[in-house]
Amino acid sequence: ELWKTRVDIARVQWIDRLKLTPEATALFDASINAMNEELYTSMQNLADKLAAGAALTPEIGTRAFNEMTSALVKTYDDLNVLVPEAQRGEAAKMELSDFIDPAVAEPLIAVQDKLDNLPAQQRGGPLGFRRNR
């Protein structure tokens, strides 16, 4: 609930800051929803690989990170199309992580044991699994 409240507050603030019309607001919401769906799919792809017995190698981690960041870049591109030109500089300041639904990580719950059992030197990298340093 707290996360949803945080997202709701950020949404209202950004819609006002970007001076979005009701039509652009609907497209904004659709872009954020699509981003979360793509992030969920990326996490599911990673979880499926790990569940099938793949080790979380630097390559697999980097490819998963690429899928996730590609979803964010696509969202920035979508927002640039719907945000009025005068506010595009403001849109570039938007922190899309404020809009990530924590449920996108749910697929990783099924493989949490594989993530917990990584040797310490493998917990770093693009996915940031390092717990202690």
pLDDT in tens, 63-95: 999 999 999 999 999 999 999 999 999 999 999
With b for 16 or more beta-carbon neighbours within 10 A and e for fewer, the 33-58 pattern comes to eebbebbbebbeebbebbeeeeebee
Confidence of residue 99 (pLDDT cuts 50, 70, 90): very high
Is the per-residue pLDDT at 131 higher than 60? no
pLDDT at 114: 81
Greatest mean pLDDT among 60-74, 103-117, 119-133: 60-74
Q: What is the mean pLDDT of the chain?
A: 88
Is the per-residue pLDDT at 132 higher than 60? no
